[in-house]
Amino acid sequence: MTIEKGFFNRMKKLQPIRMLGTGMDLGNLNEYAYEICFLLIQNIFHRELRENHNRTRNDMVFITEKILRDMDLEGSREIVDRIVDGTLWYRDPNRQEAFSTGVFDESTNRKVDYTFRYLKVDREHSHWEQGGSTVYMLTEESQEMIFITREILEEFGFDLEQFYTLQLIKTGNFSKAQNSIDHLVARVRVLINREKEYRRDIIRDPQNIFFDRSIRGKRTEDEIKEQFNEEQQVFQSMLSWKNRFDTLPDDKKREAEVMFENLERARSLHDSLAKHVMENLALELEIRVKYPETFWNISSYSFKKDIWQNHIVKNGLNSIDDLEKVVSPLFSPETDFVYPLEWAWAEQMVRTRRRERQPSDPQIEEGWKFRETDWDLLVELYEEVFSSLIDTGKFSIQQLNAKNGEEKEKWLRQRENIDIFMMFVISEVVLDLEYVGEDERLKLFKVLCEKNPIFRALQGKRILTEIEDTDEGFNWNELYISPYRIYIKE
């Protein structure tokens, strides 16, 4: 039996399903890893459809904890973190790598590397420049997993999905029609994001106009306009049934109203997609006509010619150690840091950074030890912060501007004093006296409650952050911080 054409593409669709939940050491929960990861992805999918932006890593932790409760399973915070990180990234979460596997390609008769992710960054809603956390969304591979159990397969296309929805509306099957509309919304969102990425790509390098034909293929502008018009007519046909269900019972009528509201949202998104496509076509035409030189200009800069031959070979080096500095970045397994540090904080797990090493440690010279955090000083400083949360429900970093010189010196005595406030800024947290992990904010909360039981009133409170609408900020000579305010969300 020969291997039929398309085998490689079919296997690529199966690999994300096969690898979901694998490679995690969840102890007694290993047999449930697949179901838990799928439910996590499904929850993020529904939040994305409903335009709910609570799709950060911390949100995934809360979702996973609820999934375990709903399944009557028990798992520690460490297990929950493994589930979330194992869905976001492959192997070591610190490297944040895509999932990778070998897939047999019938055209070359050998296995080729195939990489994918279940979740990717939602750039539109990750407000990094404002100190916001990274928001995630489903990749196309994950969406295919959601769609794979449906009667209409993904590969049948958007137009058939529309007609399928129309038939469900005609027969009054509103629950299935609602699910189908959700899939229409998801597909349109994928296409909109693809157009946005394509626009960024051709602005950065116009040659992508020729190289990336996966966006619209070789269809002409008139063909694309005709397709959008046909799809819009199908939306009109579906919405025309709205007034035909006035005689339904109240419960069915309300179900139909909700469905048609979502259908109107799908049509609006479809209009937005058409706008993005036509704008990109206009941009392509403008680049072709006004800037044709961008297609043949290529970089003539190379390491071999410009750095090695013209500089190192010609002028030499001051020291042999300089050679290592030049060459080592080319072969380093670690990627150079790109984003500002405060953006990267949102991607990191909070870990206790300092511990006192035992004097017997042979790797440490005698008399050397790591500096310990002064928790007494932290408690003294943060009594004011948590008291303000009890009294007013909020605390602004600008309140520290009124401090005198001695109080300023205390706040600047160790970096943890400000770091912990920035941890509140970077990600939300629920205050919990029963927490046994390594989040220093919750450790501080427990120590505060031990010293003064009045702070127990904050148990279970959710702490979020926002930027105040003011030009004033926290500005000491040593550092500057935007006017953040932490507050309790009931």
pLDDT tens digits for range 128-174: 777 778 999 988 888 778 777 554 344 345 666 677 677 778 777 77
pLDDT digits (tens, 9 = 90+) for 425-447: 777 888 888 877 777 888 899 99
**Average pLDDT estimate for 300-312:** 73
Global pTM reads 0.44
| Statement: residue 205 has pLDDT above 70 | yes
Length of the chain: 490
pLDDT on residue 372: 67
Q: Please state, in angstroms and rounded to a whole number, the distance separating the CA atoms of residues 319 and 328.
A: 15
Contact 260/235 with Cβ under 8 angstroms?
no
pLDDT on residue 217: 59
The residue whose two tokens read 């013209």 is 310
pLDDT on residue 344: 46
Mean of per-residue pLDDT scores for the chain? 78
| Statement: residue 105 has pLDDT above 50 | yes
Q: Report residue 110: phi and psi, to 5°.
A: -155, 165
Residue 484: both structure tokens together? 């953040």
In the 8-state DSSP scheme, what is residue 463? E
pLDDT digits (tens, 9 = 90+) for 242-262: 777 777 777 777 888 888 888
pLDDT on residue 81: 93
pLDDT on residue 219: 65
pLDDT on residue 136: 93
**Average pLDDT estimate for 205-210:** 70
In the 8-state DSSP scheme, what is residue 419? H
The residue whose two tokens read 């290993």 is 30
Q: Report residue 394: phi and psi, to 5°.
A: -160, 165
Number of C-beta neighbours around residue 248 at 10 A: 15
Q: Please state, in angstroms and rounded to a whole number, the distance separating the CA atoms of residues 34 and 106.
A: 29
Residue 367: both structure tokens together? 């008399």
| Statement: residue 2 has pLDDT above 80 | no
pLDDT digits (tens, 9 = 90+) for 335-386: 555 555 445 444 444 443 444 444 444 443 343 343 567 888 889 999 999 9
Pick the more confident residue, 479 or 115: 115
74-81 long-range contacts (CB < 8 A, ≥24 apart) are 75/26, 75/29, 77/435, 77/436, 77/437, 78/437, 79/26, 79/27, 79/29, 81/349
**Average pLDDT estimate for 54-66:** 93
Contact 388/395 with Cβ under 8 angstroms?
yes
Neighbouring-strand partners of residue 111: 104
| Statement: residue 289 has pLDDT above 80 | no
Nearest to 85 by CA among 100, 70, 72, 95: 95
